[in-house]
Structure 1
Amino acid sequence: MSQAGQPHASSWYADSLPASPLRPALAGAHSTDVCVLGAGYTGLSAALSLAERGYRVTVLEAQRVGWGASGRNGGQAIVGYGCEVDTLERLVGPADARRLFDFSREGMALLRHRLQHYRIDCDWRDGHASVPIRPRQERALRAGLIELAERYDYPLQWWDRAQLRQQLDSPRYRGAMFDAASGHLQPLAYAQGLARAAESLGVVIHEQSPVVQLERGTRPQLRTAHGTVTAGHVVIAGNALLQGIAPELEARIMPVGTYVGASPVLGAERAHALIRNDMAVADVSWALDYFRLSADHRLLFGGHASYSALPPPGLRALMTRRMHQVFPQLADVGMEQVWGGYVDITRNRAPHWGRLTPNVYFAQGFSGHGVAATGLAGAVLAEAIAGQSQRLDVFERIPHRRFPGGRLLRTPLLVAAMSWYKLRDALW
């Protein structure tokens, strides 16, 4: 890591951290126990879990550590997955749905353990609130809270409008489902901390090393423009950015643009008047808003997913208007910076983890809930590579269908479907 630092993808997250040295690109032919494609949360977590078990691991990253969604997301770490538990029950039955939910709780515990054990400084804060705007959303949240308590042994708090206003100074919401076990962090700092933890155990990370080909076989090989890595096992953790490496995986996810903005520094008093307990907040609309405070007293505000894979016009103004809807008292405040990236969603919003061949593993389809679940994914894949596949077997029982329309039509079809959900949120 002797070369000078290179620019990361533009965001307030990157600007708030010191430039990290550039890790050398892959050159020549190499051999290892496990080769991982992608240095986001999934790939780094898998590499760390494998290294903790004594495996030699090489990670190939097309850009920089945390360059994709892992370094640009909203920073909210939430128990569960991108779909609700009732969806999991329909897909795999009540028993496996309960197992999957319990696994997600273990994933949150693993995240907290690693922050402490490896001393990863990423501004962790406790607490997450899911907030309804419409009566229909409130009824669904209340029913979900009862279900989680009675059938999943996961009690949460319900705050009525008055209780919520004691912590969140916004007139927009009808109440809140509060989860003290979830929380939020600085996403890029977390990714860089995972990378340093993995390297401390001997993991080799090559940046600016895009994989151009996966050769499957008894000892699979990942090939870049200037080198190869042959391994006993391969882990594919490219998520929304695979670009032809494994077409059967790409057909089952859709890259969706999502955007985050940062206000100017508000000062401690004004910032904490907005969110007094420093929790993260997300509404439960299909095109949701989510927000939290930064360590330097900014409001970080995200939302307005783009299903057309194109940034919406006038993005900064659009994000500013949405922020003002939530916090009218910030009418004099704009967005100092806005950035975006792609998350990978599945048709059912459930995680898509498994094996392509007996020695090629993958995890994708986090559907916007990857901060905690990616750590779990890495641990589950490492267990399976080590011969303990019980947890991965449960994930592999989740059925996943291809997006209709192929490469040319799947995006227009999804845009049409999402327009209906946005209209439903607006009308009732």
Structure 2
Amino acid sequence: MDILTANDTTGNYPQSWYSATADAPGPYPAAEGDLSCDVCVIGGGFTGLSAALHLAERGYDVVLLEAHRVGFGASGRNGGQVGTGQRLEQDELEEMVGKDDARKLWDMALESVQLVRDLVAAHAPDANFVDGILHADHRARFVPHSHDYARKLNEDYGYDLIRPVDRDEMRHLCGSPAYHGGTLDMGAGHIHPLRYAFGLARAATAKGARIHEVSRANRVTEGATVLVETDSAKVSAKHVLWACNGYLGHAERQVAARVMPINNFILATEPLGEDLAKELIRENHGVADSKFVINYFRLSEDNRMLFGGAESYGYRFPKDIVKLVSKPMLEIYPQLKDTKIDYAWGGTLGITLNRMPHFARLQGNILSASGYSGHGVSMATLGGKLAAEAIAGQAERYDLMASVPTPRFPGGVAMRWPLLVAAMFWFSLRDKL
């Protein structure tokens, strides 16, 4: 089964609240005939669009190929939360790569959030960056660690925008008895991700990048000049960037062995009215909880509850997404039991075994950046910028990201599915117990 068409129709956005409230640019023409460029970017999500924009600003001739439409994949379907830090906590990174490199990774992660803020302000003001993410602990025993970690970031990293939150304040801020405390990070925030992607696309083309939609890369032939073939075009490029994340499939097997697609799902309720919305999330922060199969939720600009949760690991989305995601939503907010669901959609993201992004130099002139593991709004944006730097000959920061170990899934591409399903079943069972 083809991951690009298993749940979607070529060239059409899913019926999400995001696509219903965003004006798409283009459509951009499909690639035709023989094309040449300095850089061919494969994938029109945050990584690819950011790379195209930053390369075009440097004067590079860029062709971006997108199999569907820009922002079609996880970039236009996610929870919109822009988190600080890397996907792993700094304690774990210090053990993994040492304190010096862990500090550099922290600094790059902070830069990634600021980069999103700057790009939203410059190119997508309608994406509306809202400050604040609550990390909500669903077990009381998790709270001391969360508070200790906030203090570590305060003291060791000089980051004063995060603070501990006790049980009473957490229940006041998120309107649910499901949580026992956690942290509030005012350096993080949330946006309308599809409007943001569209803003990046418009900015990239304004700088001269050529975007081609409904232009799937079918074959990449390595060489001093790389040849990328679609159904109707041959693109000759000095450099290539794979930027496909969860929608890569088996197109690049070196990456596929380390980056695996999983599906995640979101509901959008009907507008709740200002009083109920304020009861549920008092200060309009985003919320992400401590479950392994994470619940994440926030309010939309028109006071809908946007609630993300549940995962699946086959190609096909479940038939009843509303039923699947309503279950965890109503566990947290039983007061929504009679609320109408206006939208329900799924998307596919890329995860790695240790949840750190997978950056790789596949050949001297072929790069890849993906595997953001649910932390991609900010890090994928930075990933595109780092790839642009590396192509321009300033590879230190890209190479640092590439040096972070991202192990192969045991058994490679063939065995990653059954092993992940078994592991995720265990972790979801642990959440329940």
TM-score, length-scaled by structure 1: 0.95
Contact 1:120 1:194 in 2 (8 A): no
- Within 2, Cα distance between the matches of 1:354 and 1:94? 22
SS in structure 1 at match of 2:410: coil
Per-residue CA deviations over 1:389-417 (Å, capped at 9, x if unaligned) read: 11112112112221122333211111111
Partner of 1:184: 190
C-alpha distance 324-39 of structure 1, shift in aligned 2 (>3 A): same
- Within 2, Cα distance between the matches of 1:53 and 1:82? 29
Does 2:54 match 1:49? yes
Q: What's the offset of the Cα at 1:425? A: 2.1
Partner of 1:61: 66
Partner of 1:38: 43
Q: What's the offset of the Cα at 1:334? A: 3.8
Contact 2:164 2:182 in 1 (8 A): yes
Partner of 1:209: 215
Supply the AA of the counterpart residue of 2:288.
A
Match of 2:351 among 345, 349, 358: 345
What is the 5 A alignment of 1:18-417? 18=23, 20-155=25-160, 156-312=162-318, 314-417=320-423
Contact 2:360 2:369 in 1 (8 A): yes
Contact 1:268 1:297 in 2 (8 A): yes
Supply the AA of the counterpart residue of 2:64.
V
Moved more, 344-353 or 393-402: 393-402
- Within 2, Cα distance between the matches of 1:244 and 1:166? 46
Q: What's the offset of the Cα at 1:19? A: 5.1
C-alpha distance 150-362 of structure 1, shift in aligned 2 (>3 A): same
SS in structure 2 at match of 1:107: helix
- Within 2, Cα distance between the matches of 1:390 and 1:254? 26
- Within 1, Cα distance between the matches of 2:152 and 2:267? 34
Per-residue CA deviations over 1:176-215 (Å, capped at 9, x if unaligned) read: 3111111111111111111001111111100000000111
SS in structure 2 at match of 1:344: strand
Moved more, 62-71 or 149-158: 149-158
SS in structure 1 at match of 2:126: coil
Q: What's the offset of the Cα at 1:153? A: 2.0
- Within 1, Cα distance between the matches of 2:24 and 2:226? 34
Q: What's the offset of the Cα at 1:20? A: 4.3
Q: How many residues align?
A: 423
Contact 2:147 2:163 in 1 (8 A): no
Moved over 4 A (4+): none
* Root mean square deviation, CA, Å: 1.6
- Within 2, Cα distance between the matches of 1:285 and 1:181? 22
Per-residue CA deviations over 1:202-240 (Å, capped at 9, x if unaligned) read: 111000000001111111121101001111111110111
Contact 1:308 1:412 in 2 (8 A): no
Gapped regions of structure 1 (runs ≥ 5): none
- Within 1, Cα distance between the matches of 2:140 and 2:172? 21
SS in structure 2 at match of 1:336: strand
Contact 1:242 1:250 in 2 (8 A): yes
- Within 1, Cα distance between the matches of 2:315 and 2:147? 34
- Within 2, Cα distance between the matches of 1:67 and 1:109? 24
Per-residue CA deviations over 1:346-400 (Å, capped at 9, x if unaligned) read: 0010111131111111101100000011111111111111111111121121122
- Within 2, Cα distance between the matches of 1:188 and 1:69? 9
Contact 1:122 1:189 in 2 (8 A): yes
- Within 2, Cα distance between the matches of 1:165 and 1:101? 30
Contact 2:360 2:368 in 1 (8 A): yes
Q: What's the offset of the Cα at 1:162? A: 1.8
Contact 1:66 1:192 in 2 (8 A): yes
SS in structure 1 at match of 2:218: strand
Supply the AA of the counterpart residue of 2:120.
L
SS in structure 1 at match of 2:13: coil
C-alpha distance 165-243 of structure 1, shift in aligned 2 (>3 A): closer
- Within 1, Cα distance between the matches of 2:216 and 2:312? 25
- Within 1, Cα distance between the matches of 2:377 and 2:413? 28
Match of 1:424 among 403, 406, 430: 430
